[in-house]
Amino acid sequence: MQIPYRKPGKFSQTKLDPFLTKDKFDELKNKLEKLKNFNRPRAVEEVKRLAELGDFSENVEYQMAKGRLRGINEKILILENQLRHAEIIAPQTKIGAVQIGSTVTITDGKKEKTYQILGSSETNPEKGVISHNSPLGASLIGRKIGEKIKIKLADKKEVEYQIVKIK
């Protein structure tokens, strides 16, 4: 079954990033199981109960329950698709260059910052987890210790960072 095509919006047809850690993969798998085995059966029972009241055109509760069921089914399809195409980020074996899954320490000459580079679905900049698609993450991929990179910030200011450590 395919994910239904919706009218294009700003983020409606963006492809999900396939790179996931094993923990995130397991979390999504558990979420899918809960939706399939708990949420959907409850929603189906609610729709059945409200359908027995008759006159679908004026039965607002029935329309709302059908909408909730459609939302659950769409979430299930999206999660199944994401899990089917997932690529698990393997633990780093060679630490010569920055890869997806690496933890990188960089400096701008004044202070050091440490980032872990993961897939887009796991980013959390406050905790130092950035995407490999972000400007900083993309410019770090493939670089080695001691190399310098230049990043253009939102205010059109350019900052230079040097790679200090890769784990």
User: Which domain range does residue 158 map to?
Assistant: 103-166
32 and 77 housed in the same domain? yes
Can you state the angle between helices 22-34 and 60-84, rounded to 10 degrees? Answer: 150
- Among candidate residues 63, 88, 113, the one where a domain is terminated: 88
Number of domains in the chain: 2
Q: Predicted confidence band at 154 (pLDDT cuts at 50, 70, 90)?
A: confident
Instruction: Give the CATH number for residue 41.
Output: 1.10.287.180
Instruction: Give the CATH number for residue 132.
Output: 3.10.50.30
Q: Is 141 contained in some domain?
A: yes
Q: Exposed e or buried b for every residue in 90-122, given b needs 16+ CB within 10 A?
A: eeeeeeeebbbbbbbbbeeeeeeeebbbbbbbb
Q: Is 28 contained in some domain?
A: yes
**Could you count the other beta carbons within 10 Å of the beta carbon of residue 153?**
10
Do the strands 148-152 and 158-166 form a parallel or antiparallel pair, or are they unpaired?
antiparallel
124 DSSP 8-state letter: B
Q: Is 154 contained in some domain?
A: yes
Q: Is 1 contained in some domain?
A: no
- Among candidate residues 88, 111, 129, the one where a domain is terminated: 88
In contact, 165 and 122? CB cutoff 8 Å: no
% of the chain residues with pLDDT over 90: 54
H helical segments located in 85-159: 135-140
**What distance, in Å, lies between the first and last C-alpha atoms of the chain?**
41
80 and 24 housed in the same domain? yes
Q: Which two tokens stand for residue 130?
A: 């950035």
pTM, full prediction: 0.78
57 and 81 housed in the same domain? yes
- pLDDT tens-place string over residues 15-68: 778 899 999 999 999 999 999 999 999 999 999 998 888 777 778 889 899 999
